[in-house]
Structure 1
């Protein structure tokens, strides 16, 4: 697999994983790192860009939703999101909850630039931590 294919596969996997579709871009990232495919910085960049674009897609979906979500859980989430604003998107990397945070952020009409900034920071930090853990694990086994 050449580097371009490694990066594009990871970007695609991370995009799909960030949308409401199931996926696990972390597995693809770890597999590419352990196989020595691509540059570490390039892999983290591709994963982060894809995952951020997927999160932005969820925000767009939220902006297209009519009406108000119902139920105590939704009310709690909305209150929490209004309190923390776009900074809440630092947690957008969390499984299931992160997708919902992005959709609700869109529904609440968070400003695009702060939402994108916090979304990108949270998702990039996750991939950096996964990369560090993978590299340390590889050193441990050698």
Structure 2
């Protein structure tokens, strides 16, 4: 479970990783541990996003460099986050844009408790869907044999 924690945590930072593939692998290997896998992956991935949020709140120099690298996307994200508020962080699992959402939320000083809750909800639902899909495929394969 430690390796799952690390993969899910790192995948939520700016280091691209496909934690869903690892979760699916673990589910196929030990389907009986699906609840534990879901909890560990959800919490670790949420903590990775929270780390990015906190970095943005307290690392203005680093954030300024990030803003310059992503250019016009920063302006669009900032406008979207201000329009939709913390609930948009439920989509922080999306590829590319998802890594930036917690950064923008941190830069805009969104309320911590709302950020944490929406991040956890989005991550838990995403991993729940991945696990459900993997278990469904496994069940279909087993019923055909």
Same fold (TM over 0.5): yes
Deviation by residue 1:23-57 (Cα, 9 ceiling, x = unmatched): 22111111111011662111000000100000001
Deviation by residue 1:62-94 (Cα, 9 ceiling, x = unmatched): 112247646443222111100111111010000
Moved >3 Å (runs of 4+): 66-72
State the match for 1:109 in structure 2: 109
**Aligned: 1:30 with 2:24:** yes
Which protein is richer in helix relative to its size? 2
Cα distance in 1, alignment partners of residues 116 and 32 from structure 2: 26
State the match for 1:98 in structure 2: 98
1:112-127 mapped onto 2 (5 Å cutoff): 112-127=112-127
Choose the corresponding residue for 2:6, options 6, 12, 16: 12
**Aligned: 1:49 with 2:43:** yes
Deviation by residue 1:86-109 (Cα, 9 ceiling, x = unmatched): 111010000111110111111111
Name the SS for the 1:109 alignment partner. Answer: coil
Give the root-mean-square deviation of aligned CA atoms. Answer: 1.6
**Aligned: 1:80 with 2:73:** no
- Name stretches of at least 5 consecutive residues in structure 1 with no aligned partner: 1-6
Report the TM-score, using the length of structure 2 for normalisation: 0.87
- Deviation of 1:22 after TM superposition, in Å, equals 2.2
**Aligned: 1:65 with 2:64:** no
Name the SS for the 2:17 alignment partner. Answer: coil
